[in-house]
Amino acid sequence: MSNINYDYIEEYIRSVIPRKTDNLFKLRNFAIEHNVPIVEEETEEFIKFLISIKKPEKMLELGTAIGYSAISFTKSSDSIKNFTTIEIKNEMVEIARKNIEEEQLNSIIKVIEGDAAEVINELEDSFDIIFIDAAKGQYEKYFNLVLKNLNEDGIIICDNVLYKGMIANEELVNKRKKTIVKRLRNFLNKISKNKEYQSSIVPIGDGVLLVRRSN
Ligand SMILES: C[S@@+](CC[C@H](N)C(=O)[O-])C[C@H]1O[C@@H](n2cnc3c(N)ncnc32)[C@H](O)[C@@H]1O
């Protein structure tokens, strides 16, 4: 239960998404079995749709986990020539690299091991789409850091911004998550009010924020 949409809506949307027949099916099951959080199916389809419109050549992802989203997004579009993804946990980096190699996507997907904030500081490349999916309490920091790496007409996509409904409903807030919730609310408030950016919060999956520079 996501506490964002009704269960029957989520179940319905997932039921109409064609069942994957490739390795992604196995990778999603691996993630479920090993309790690794990966992008929700409906969010995955939504972002693939954005990719098909935007046709990015270069994408950056913060938070690789087992490499599921990196593989799914890269496979979804021939436009992607370079997909850089950053992961802090060595165990995840190793699994992701193995999965990427099995898909023969090593020449496109590059996994960088390290703390996203530190790696971005050193990163000089610029990207058409930046997908923020690492530590939720750090989203504002990540956002400010990656702006220098975002192409003029690039898009930033942040996952989990409604965080199991806690962002919109105080009654759902888990005490241990208070700081993350407070930081996410602050971030959403600031971005939504900032005229330099055009943004939209989409209540799909765990909540997706889309941001681009205003024209
Ligand atoms: C939700 S998972 C990423 C899922 C992946 N994008 C997918 O959909 O397949 C978040 C990942 O971010 C990583 N992470 C957390 N804090 C991080 C940090 N400071 N720098 C880099 N990665 C971090 C976690 O170890 C975890 O693997």
Q: Where are the domains of the chain?
A: 7-213
Q: Is the dihedral of CA 173, 175, 180, 182 positive or negative?
A: positive
Strand order in the sheet with 109-113: 109-113, 82-87, 58-62, 127-132, 150-159, 208-213, 197-202
186 is in an annotated binding site: no
7 is in an annotated binding site: no
Other Cβ atoms within 10 Å of 141 Cβ, number: 15
Q: Tell me which residues have their CB closer than 6 angstroms to ligand 1.
A: 37-39, 61-63, 65, 68-69, 86-89, 92, 115-116, 133-135
Query: What ligand 1 atom has the least distance to the C-alpha of 86?
Result: 21
Give pLDDT, residue 21. 83
Give pLDDT, residue 76. 97
133 is in an annotated binding site: yes
User: What is the CATH code for 7-213?
Assistant: 3.40.50.150
In angstroms, the CA 94 to CA 186 distance is 34
**pLDDT tens digits along 58-107:** 999 999 999 999 999 999 999 999 999 999 999 999 999 999 999 999 99
Give the pLDDT means over successive 10-residue stretches in the chain (215 positions): 91 94 94 98 98 98 98 98 98 98 98 98 97 98 98 98 97 96 98 98 98 95
Give pLDDT, residue 215. 84
In angstroms, the CA 26 to CA 30 distance is 6
